[in-house]
Structure 1
Amino acid sequence: MPPEVEEATDAAAGKPHYDDDAVQGLDALDAPPSTPRGRTGLLRALLAPVVALVVLVAIWQALWAAAFWPEYQLPAPIAVWDQFAKLVDTGQVWELLWVSVHRAVIGFAISLVVATPLGLLMAKVSLVRAAIGPIVSGLQSLPSVAWVPAAVLWFGLTDAAIYTVVLLGAVPSIANGLVAGIDQIPPILPRVGQVLGAGRLASARYILLPAALPGYLAGLKQGWAFSWRSLMAAELIATSPQLGFGLGQYLDNGRALSDMSMVMSGILLIFLVGVGIELAVFRPLERAVLRARGLTGAL
C-alpha cells in the first residue's frame, strides 16, 4: 500500500501514524551506546593503562635521577624490578602469594556466609535494622587495623586472629551492600511472590537476592577490598613463624632492613593481586549482571 493511502487509512480509522524514521530514532535512544569491539576495542583498553604506566615510570626515573631523596627512600625503578625478578626467579613469590591469597579467599568466603543472612535480616526485619544497623555501619567505617591488637590479645599470634580481622573488615560492607540492593527492589516483586505462595526462604532465594544482585555485587566488591586490606594490616602487625610468610610479613621485613626496593616490590605484588581479582572475577560478574538487565553499555 502506498504511504499516502496508508496514512489516510490510519487517519480515517483514528489510528496515529508513526514515521519509520521517527520510530527508528526512538529505538536508537533505547539501545545501549555502542562500544568498540574486536582488535580496536582491545587495543584501546590496553593502550591507555600502558601509556599511563610508562608516564608514571618516567616521572619516577626523573625524580630518582634528580636525587631529591636518598637511595634508601626512593630507589631506581630498575632496582625495584630487579628485586621483583629475584622473587620470581627464586620461586619465593609463589609462597608469598599462596599464604596471603588463600587466607583472603577463606576469610572472604566466611564473611559471605555470615554477611548474607545478616543483610537479609537487616533489610526485612525493621527491629533488627534499628538495633544493629548503626553498629554495622559504624564497623564499616572503622579502620581494620584497629582490630589487630584486640584480635592478637583474644587469640594470640594464630590464624584465628587474622581471620577475625578479615571478617570484621568485610562483613559490614557485604551486609550493607545487600541491604542497599534490597531497598531498591520495587515493592511489587515481593508481593507477587507472596501471591504465588513463596515462603520466606523461597522469596529470599528466588526474588530478593536476584533482584538485589547489582547492589549485592557492589557490596561483594567492597567486601573483598576490605578483606584484602584487613589481611595486609593483620600480616604487617601480627608476625610470627607459626603464621607463615605472606606479603605483609615481606613488607615488614623490607621496613626492618630499610630496603625500599623490597618494600616497593611487595606493594607491587599487593597491587597486582587486587587488580587481578578485579579483572578476573568481579569485572566479568558485573558485566554479566548488567548484560542480563539490558545494560551492556554500562561496561
Structure 2
Amino acid sequence: MPLDTRTATAHDPSHDELRRLEAGLDSLQAVPETPRGAVRRTLDGALPPILLLIGLALAWQVYILIVKPRPDLIPGPLDVFGALVSAWNSDRLQLAVTTSLERGGLGFIIAVAIGTPIGLLLAECRPVRRALGPLLSGLQVLPSVAWVPAAIIWFGLSDATVYFVILMGAVPSIANGLVSGVDQIPPQLRRVGTVLGASRLQMATLVVLPAALPGYFSGLKQGWAFAWRSLMAAEIIVIGGDIGFGLGSMLHLSRELADLSGVLATILVILFVGILVELVIFAPIERRLLRRRGLMAAGLR
C-alpha cells in the first residue's frame, strides 16, 4: 500500500486526463470494423497494379513484334528482363538496392527527427512561423538537385553529400505537413487541454501532435517521396570518391555504356522499390490511422 500511494502521488494526473480525452474522441469517431481476411486485403491492394503492369508489358511486346524498332533505341520487355537477370547474377542489383535503401531510410529518419520539432515550433510560435514559414515553403518547391553542386564543394564525393541533399528535400515537406495538420485541429481541443492544466510542452506533445497525425502523416509520405527522389538525383550526379554503389550509380553506369535495356531495368527497379515502400509501410499505417479517426470505413481499401 505505501508503494501504491507514492506512485499515485508522483504520477501527474493531467497526463491520464489528456490521454483519456484523446482516446475518447477517437472512439467516438471510429467506424466499426468489418472482418476481412488478410489474404483478401493483400489481393485487393496488390492485384490491380500487377494486372496493369502485365497488360502494359504485353502491349509493349506486341509493339516490338509489329513495329520491330532498333533494339538499341527501343528494347523489348524481354531485353529489359535480361538486363535485370544479368544485374542480379553479378550481384550489382542486390548491392545497389541495399545501398540506396540504407541511405534513403537513414536519411528519412534523420529528416523526421529534424523536421518534426521544426514543424511544432512553427505551428506553436507565430513569430517564428512568420519569419521561417515562407523560407520553408520556398525550400519545399526548390528542386533538391540544385543543392548537389554546393554539397559536393562542402562535403566532397562522400555519403555526407548524399545525406545533405536528402535532408534538404525531405525536411521542408515533413515540417510543412505537421504545420498543416496542426492548423486543422479544432480549437476546442486546445481549450480542453488548457482546462486540464496541460503545460506548453504537454500541450504540444500530448494534445497537438496526436491530433495533427493525419496531416503529419501526409507530410511524412511526401517527405519520403522527396527523400527518395533526392537520393536518386544525388546518386546519379555524385559519382566516384567514397560514394557507394546505389541505384542512381547503376543508372549512371548504364547510361555511360549506352545500355538502354539496363537504364530501363534500373528505372523499373527504382519505381518498384518506391511502390513497395508505399504498399508495405505507409499504406497499412495510413489505413489504421484513418480508421481510428473515423475517416475511412474498415471495409474499404
- Per-residue CA deviation, residues 221-277 of structure 1 (Å, 9 max, x unaligned), is 000000000000000001114111110010001111000111111111111111111
Q: 1:180, 1:205 → 2: CA distance? A: 16
Give the letter for the 2:79 counterpart. Answer: A
**Cα distance in structure 2, aligned partners of 1:130 and 1:205:** 22
Aligned to 1:17: none
Q: Does 1:256 find its partner at 2:256?
A: yes
Call closer, same or farther: CA 1:67–1:242 in 2, change over 3 Å: farther
> Following TM superposition, by how much is the alpha carbon of 1:73 offset from its aligned partner in structure 2, in angstroms?
1.9
Mapping 1:153-172, distance limit 5 Å: 153-172=153-172
Quote the residue 1:108 is aligned against: 108
In structure 2, do the counterparts of structure 1 residues 268 and 35 end up closer, same or farther at CA, with 3 Å as the change threshold? farther
Aligned twin of 2:121:
121
Alpha-carbon distance in 2 for matches of 1:243, 1:295 = 44
Q: 1:10-21 to 2 correspondence within 5 Å? A: none
Deviation at 1:159, TM superposition (A): 1.2
Give the structure-1-normalised TM-score: 0.84
How do residues 250-289 of structure 1 correspond to structure 2 at under 5 angstroms? 250-289=250-289
SS of the aligned residue for 1:168 comes to helix
The alignment's C-alpha RMSD in Å is 2.1
Farther off after superposition, 190-199 or 256-265:
190-199
SS across alignment from 1:242: coil
Larger Rg: 1
Name the SS for the 2:258 alignment partner: coil
1:1-299 equivalent positions in 2, closer than 5 A:
43-67=43-67, 69-297=69-297, 299=301
Distance across 2 between alignment mates of 1:237 and 1:273: 20
- Per-residue deviation at 1:86? 2.1
Q: Is the 8 A contact 2:31 2:291 kept in 1?
A: no
Higher deviation after alignment, 254-263 or 93-102: 93-102
- Determine what percentage of the aligned residue pairs are the same residue: 48
Preserved contact between residue 108 and residue 223 of structure 1 (Cα < 8 Å): yes
- Partner SS state of residue 242, structure 2: helix
Deviation at 1:69, TM superposition (A): 4.4
Q: Supply the AA of the counterpart residue of 2:140.
A: Q
- Deviation string 1:178-231 (CA, Å, 9 cap, x unpaired) is 000000000111221122121122111111111000000000000000000000
Q: Check the 8 A contact 2:158/2:241 in 1, yes or no.
A: no
Conserved 8 A contact 2:110-2:167? yes
* Cα deviation, residue 35, structure 1: 9.5
Question: Cα deviation per residue 1:72-114 (whole Å; 9 max; x = unaligned)?
Answer: 1211111111111222233322211121111111111111111
After superposition, the Cα gap between the structure-2 partners of 1:254 and 1:209, relative to the gap in structure 1 and judged at 3 Å, is same
- Give 1:45 deviation, angstroms: 3.9
C-alpha distance 149-66 of structure 1, shift in aligned 2 (>3 A): farther
TM-score, normalised via structure 2 length: 0.84
When the two structures are aligned, how many residues end up with a matched partner? 270
Instruction: List alignment gaps of at least 5 residues for structure 1.
Output: 1-29
